[in-house]
Chains A and B, each alone.
Chain A
Amino acid sequence: MSQYNVIGTRAPRVDAPDKATGRAVFVDDMKMPGMLFGALLQSPYAHARIRGIDVSAAKRLPGVKAVVTAKEAGLVRFGVSPARYDETLFCSDKVRHVGDNVAAVAAVDLETAMEAVSLIKVDYEELPAVFTIEEALADGAPLVHEEYPRNICAEVHQEFGDVEAAFKECDLIKTSSLTSKLQNCAFLEPQACIAFYDHWGSLTLYTSTQTPHYVQRTVAMVLGLPVGKVRVVKPYTGGGFGAKASASHLELAACLLSMKAGKPVKMRFDREQVFWHGRSRHQFFHTMTTGVKKDGTILALKNECYLNGGAYCSFGIATVYYAGSLLGGPYKLPNMKYDGYRLYTNLPASGAQRGHGGVIARSCWEQQLDMIAEELGMDPIELRLKNVMTAGDVTCNDLNMSSLGMKEAIEVVRDASDWNNKKGKLPKGKGIGMACGFFVSGAGYPIYRSDTYHCTVVVKLAEDGGTAVVYTASAEIGQGSDTTFAMIAAEALGVPLEMVRVESGDTDFGVDLGAYSSRQTLMTGQATKEAAEDAKRQVLEVLSKELNIPVEDMDIKNGLVVFKNTKPDFTALRTRYQKEHRGWIDNPGAEEELSFREASRIAYLARGTIVGTGKYRPPELGGKFKGAAVGTSPAYGCSAQVAEVSVDEGTGKITVEKMVDAHDCGRAINRTSVEGQMQGSISMALGEALFEEVKFDDKGRILNADLAEYKIPTILDMPKVDARIVESNEPNGPFGAKEVGEGNIVPTIAAILNAVYDAIGVRIHELPLTPERVYLALQEYKNKSKTKS
């Protein structure tokens, strides 16, 4: 029997009924009186100087209410990391990728706005462009940003321990590489927003975002408004996965247009523009060398990585750090060296995507560990179990595994997949493979350097005592955070879930850094718990005075006041409540227990509105070296996965037949939601492993900026996922909880790569594993074997 009443259940999500009936309102579903429609003018060239912009014809078009360019927007630079504020709302000197933003129009309808955009004449001088790492680094290459020589946006050089010395101690040293392709988050809801600037000088922005707080700050900074006069509201949002975790030009343009036109302005990306905006997973080129002892002990890892960053930095500094730091665990690794380079190119900017920076690094390394296990004659699971960290271990780069069910997760998937009877024993063309991974449960530091609280939460009790409202600026983007916080508040307050209402996604409700780095359950969860406990304490304090019982002798459970010793006579309180609610049909009557509702009402009568507050900021985390912050977190979630695949050797087509997945999420707040995150992240990783790649022509134009040719998995591509929750008790998490949203995407690609090897005996070092790539690898392997024999 669980010690909790709400935590750990499978409560249906609070937002599900509205979403099941079409009632849930997303930004594009909203209309406002007098609302205008905006459209962006975006560059057709990958790299071009802007010699002039003529907006006169656009302005003359009937129905056009505002036309803005860099002239109106100004040149305040923004971005994600303040160290690389390299974007302006509109380009002034040159455009740096196809789809770069040049101007925007607001008009009475979308048709007019689009027509006006087509009437803007831009005099471009096309410039030579760079699209690949090699082109970007070539001598005399054109520079994407003049202030960044050799097009290096960021580089990282770290060494922990002494890798070269350690290699000398090793019995086996293995080098391999992995190349990935540019990804797109491909959420179902394209970005959309409505901005409304009123006569009091207040700007309200309804937007589809993961991070209302960062959007609020960026809008205020770029448009020169006080933060307090910018309110960002996030209605229901149709997925984010990283690409909606920063302010976009769409949002900024809508705000500026509304300020100019004095009307609400709606803007949305079409699917092609979602791809132009990008900000999803980078293309990575990893080369790794690992040294081990004969018995499988891992001694050292040397990791080199190049990232194709596109035209702007976005999250790129964090990305290039993560691509190194997230290999510090979950295996004991005393020596690690990392050299990472993020390059500017004339492609849409890459940013963060689920498993930020860690996915391809992990895929490369976990495939290499399998190669090492094979050479050592060890089972891959045995190799991993030999090196696995446990709770309390600290990585060589100072990440503290305060809880870690990695070993348990490996054992669970080993047993659930029948690994010992399958590994190496499946018929030709079928294979089984496994891999592990871990991820932060909330970035240890905000994206801008600050001592800010990462979140503040308010729990307000309704005056009748019957409902607790949680106010949080956190972002429900589909992951289920509203439900999580409702459950945490209910548990902490001691009331049934139905008595809690969550209001979220509004910067007026507090500070919350938002839905990225898998932070909300732990961080916003802690603040919610604190706020609920604060409200409960206040209720009990009033009760203590009224009944003359010490606070510590009382509690609230299941919506009832629990008296630890003798139950007092609370008839007077009940009578008071009843008198105040004459005519109400649901008044407490002859019940034996005093209800939370009565107690809460009495508290209101004594003190006014009962408001509990909570806040969370992680303690100082990590080491003192440069970049030590990236990878720090109050906790780490981890996963082990086993993939079973079949490979059609005639065509090279891979089918993933089954996935067994175990994830340590600390204590599961909502078991259904945890499984949903596990299954969902596997589908994203499966797409990246097998299908997904944003392709460009030689002019930097996207060839597949749509959901037909950018292929995310359909329901027919997804295998059964056997999701097993491994619970640990995370000391830094609310009720012991930590992340599940991203750690679980980390092992999937490598598990598939390793299963493919088990099936056909070929190692593939480039993603995605399209039929063609697999077929050609098989042919090459067969030709080589022929030459040998």
Chain B
Amino acid sequence: MKKIIRLTVNNEEHQLAVEPNQTLLDMLRDQLGLTGAKKGCEMGECGACTVIMDGITVNSCLVLAMQANGKRITTIEGLETEQGLHPIQKAFIEKGAIQCGFCTSGMILSAKVLLDKNPKPTEEEIRSALSGNLCRCTGYQKIVEAVQSVSEDDVGPARQES
């Protein structure tokens, strides 16, 4: 039987009826049309479904929609604002950090949480923060370079939106 949940997704409040066995990933993709989070494994192994929930990255395939009740969710679609793309998105484009693009949403969101907390990470910290996001195309190097290229000024003080 469906239950009603309320949550904030990309700064917008939603009230949704969800099945108890529905994952946050399916809810985002099917009910909200936010298909930037991808299904790569559905077992929490690849990170393609990564979203930000109350400021931390989670595999949305391993979160029930019910568990997201009352939470603040940021998906890749929430990074672009009227001012344009987020600096991390720009960096990924400029540095060639994107090939097939299937891991990109999750990579960028993992990078965002890192940079929000730690605007000047070392390479080791970058690699550690992105170690839950598999990529089969790039060999990761240009991804690391993209994150490195985003300076403190670009990101600004840690944002509180997520």
Within the complex, are A and B direct neighbours (CB within 8 Å)? Answer: yes
Q: Which of B34, B76, B80, B138 has the most CB atoms of chain A within a 10 A radius of its CB?
A: B138
With an 8 A cutoff between CB atoms, is B161 at the interface?
no
In the bound complex, residues from chain A placing their C-beta under 8 Å from that of B142 are 672, 675-676, 679
User: When the two chains form their complex, are residues A20 and B140 in contact, meaning their CB atoms are under 8 A apart?
Assistant: no
Contacts of B48 in A (CB 8 A): 188
Q: Is the CB of B101 within 8 A of A15?
A: yes
The answer to whether B133 touches A190, judged by C-beta atoms less than 8 angstroms apart, is no
Chain B residues closer than 8 Å to A271, beta-carbon distance: 40-43, 45
- Closest chain A residue, CB of each to CB of B110: A715
In Å, the complex CA distance between A22 and B105 comes to 6
Contact between B100 and A17, CB atoms less than 8 A apart: no
A21 touches B85 (CB 8 A): yes
Query: Would you call A241 an interface residue if the criterion is a C-beta within 8 Å of the partner chain's C-beta atoms?
Result: yes
Within the complex, what minimum Cβ distance (angstroms) separates A518 from chain B? 15
Q: Output the nearest chain A residue to B44 by Cβ-Cβ distance.
A: A708
The answer to the question of B141 belonging to the interface, with a C-beta cut-off of 8 Å to chain A, is yes
Asked if A98 lies at the interface with its beta carbon under 8 angstroms from chain B, I say no
Chain B residues 106 to 162 lying within 8 A of chain A, measured CB to CB, are 108, 127-128, 130-131, 133-144
**Known pairs A22-B35, A718-B140; A236 contacts B45 (CB<8 A):** no
Let me know if B139 and A718 touch, CB within 8 A.
yes
Query: Which interface residue of B80, B101, B105 has the most chain A CB atoms within 10 A?
Result: B101
A405 to B122 alpha-carbon distance, docked (Å): 37
A613 to B39, CA, bound (A): 39
State in angstroms the CA–CA spacing of A679 and B140 once bound together.
Answer: 8
Q: Are B99 and A236 in contact (CB under 8 A)?
A: no
Q: Is the CB of B102 within 8 A of A189?
A: yes
Contact A707 B101 (CB under 8 A): no
Q: How many A-B residue pairs have CB under 8 A?
A: 174
B-contact 0/1 string along A1-39, CB 8 Å cutoff:
000000000101101111111111110110000000000
> Are B136 and A241 interface neighbours, CB within 8 A?
yes
**Is A714 engaged at the interface, CB distance under 8 Å to the other chain?**
yes
Return chain A residues, CB-CB under 8 Å to B77.
Answer: 21-23
Which of B45, B80, B85 interacts with A706 by CB under 8 Å?
B45
8 Å CB contact of A715 from B75, B133, B137: B133
Binds B, one of A57-65, A474-482, A527-535: A474-482
Q: Which of B39, B92, B99, B133 has the most CB of A within 10 A?
A: B99
The complex places the Cα of A490 from the Cα of B142 at a distance, in Å, of 26
Q: Are A238 and B101 in contact (CB under 8 A)?
A: yes
- Is there an interface contact between A12 and B138, defined as CB atoms closer than 8 Å? no
Chain B residues near A241 (CB-CB < 8 A): 136
- Report whether A13 and B98 are in contact in the complex, using a CB–CB cutoff of 8 Å: yes
A28 partner residues in chain B, CB cutoff 8 A: 35, 38-39
Question: Does A680 sit within 8 A of B, measured CB to CB?
Answer: yes
Closest to A28 in B: B39
Cβ distance B162 to chain A, nearest Cβ, rounded Å: 15
Contact partners of B94 in chain A: CB under 8 A: 12
Bound Cα distance from A363 to B96, whole angstroms: 29
Does A721 interact with chain B (Cβ within 8 Å)?
Answer: yes
Name B92's contact: one of A20, A708, A716 (CB within 8 Å). Answer: A20
Judge whether B85 and A17 touch: CB under 8 Å. Answer: yes
Q: Is the CB of B104 within 8 A of A715?
A: no
- Taken residue by residue from 534 to 571, chain A's Cβ proximity to chain B (1 for < 8 Å, 0 otherwise) reads as 00000000000000000000000000000000000000
At the interface, yes or no: B29 with Cβ under 8 Å from chain A? yes
How many residues in A have their beta carbons less than 8 Å from beta carbons of B?
57
| Complex Cα–Cα for A672 and B138 (A) | 11
Docked pose: A21 CA to B37 CA in angstroms: 10
A659's nearest neighbour on chain B, judged by CB, is: B139
Chain A nearest CB from B10 CB (Å) reads 11
Compute how far the CA of A359 lies from the CA of B49 in the bound complex, rounded to whole angstroms: 32
Residues in A whose Cβ lies below 8 Å from that of B133: 715
Residues in B whose Cβ lies below 8 Å from that of A190: 39-40
Q: Which residue of chain B has the shortest Cβ distance to A681 in the bound complex?
A: B139
- A762: min CB distance to chain B, Å: 27
Asked whether any CB of chain B lies closer than 8 Å to the CB of A418, the reply is no
User: CB < 8 Å: which of A187, A478, A680 contacts B139?
Assistant: A680
> In the complex, A239→B98 CA distance in Å?
12
B31 → chain A closest CB, angstroms: 12
A23 / chain B contacts, CB cutoff of 8 Å: 36, 77
State in angstroms the CA–CA spacing of A682 and B137 once bound together. 10
Our pick among A15, A20, A707, A714 for the contact of B131 (Cβ within 8 Å) is A714
Residues of A within 8 A of B108 (CB): 20
- Asked if residues A22 and B100 are in contact (CB atoms below 8 Å), the reply is no
Q: Indicate which residue in B35, B39, B85 contacts A25 across the interface (CB closer than 8 Å).
A: B35
**CB-defined contacts of A25 to chain B, threshold 8 Å:** 35
A680 pairs with B138, CB closer than 8 A: yes
A8 to chain B, nearest CB (A): 15
B57 interfacial contact with A, CB 8 Å: no
Query: A26 touching B102 by the CB < 8 A rule?
Result: yes
Which of A12, A237, A268, A718 is within 8 Å of B100, CB to CB?
Answer: A237
Cβ A189 vs Cβ B100 within 8 A: yes
Across the interface, B45 reaches (CB within 8 A) one of A189, A270, A675, A707, namely: A707
Interface pair A10/B102, CB less than 8 Å apart: no
Contact partner of A22 (CB less than 8 A), chosen from B34, B40, B46, B96, is B34
Q: Which residue of A lies closest to B91 (CB)?
A: A20
Taking the complex as formed, is B66 at the interface, i.e. its CB lies under 8 A from any CB of chain A?
A: no
CA distance A546 to B94 in the complex (A): 42
| Residue contact B98 to A188, C-beta cutoff 8 Å | no
Q: Does A121 contact B (CB under 8 A)?
A: no
A706–B42 Cα distance when bound, in Å, is: 10
A13 and B136 contacting across the interface, CB-CB below 8 Å? no
Does B52 touch A at the CB level, under 8 Å?
Answer: no
Interface pair B134/A707, CB less than 8 Å apart? yes
Residue of A nearest to B103 (CB): A188
Q: Which chain B residues border A16 with CB–CB below 8 Å? A: 92-93, 96, 98, 101
**Which residues of the partner chain A approach B63 to less than 8 Å between Cβ atoms?**
none
At the interface, yes or no: B16 with Cβ under 8 Å from chain A? no
Q: A477, B96: Cβ atoms under 8 Å?
A: no
* Interface contact A188-B96, CB-CB below 8 Å: no
Q: Within 8 Å CB of A479, what residues of B?
A: 99, 137
Indicate with 1 or 0, residue by residue over B16-37, a CB within 8 angstroms of chain A CB atoms. Answer: 0000000000000100001111
Q: Considering the chains assembled together, what is the distance between the CA atoms of A681 and B96 in angstroms?
A: 15
A714 to B143, CA, bound (A): 12
State A80–B76 Cα separation when bound (angstroms): 39
Known: A478-B137, A676-B142. A12 touches B101 (CB 8 A): no
A187/B100 in contact, CB under 8 A:
yes
Residues 713 to 750 of chain A near chain B (Cβ within 8 Å): 714-716, 718, 720-721, 723
Q: How far is the CA of A192 from the CA of B108 in the complex (A)?
A: 24
Contact A238 B140 (CB under 8 A): no
Which among A12, A24, A238, A723 has the highest number of chain B CB atoms within 10 Å?
Answer: A238
The verdict on B60 contacting chain A, using a C-beta distance below 8 Å, is no
B138 with A679: CB separation less than 8 A: yes
Q: Which residues of A contact B5 (CB under 8 A)?
A: none
Q: Considering the chains assembled together, what is the distance between the CA atoms of A26 and B101 in angstroms? A: 10
Q: Could you list some 26 contacts between A and B, CB below 8 A?
A: A12-B94, A16-B98, A20-B85, A20-B93, A20-B101, A20-B104, A21-B76, A21-B80, A21-B85, A22-B34, A28-B35, A28-B39, A236-B100, A238-B38, A271-B42, A479-B137, A676-B96, A676-B142, A678-B139, A683-B138, A683-B139, A706-B45, A707-B46, A708-B45, A714-B131, A723-B141
Beyond A21-B85, A478-B102, 7 additional pairs, beta carbon < 8 A: A12-B96, A188-B100, A271-B42, A478-B137, A679-B140, A706-B41, A723-B141
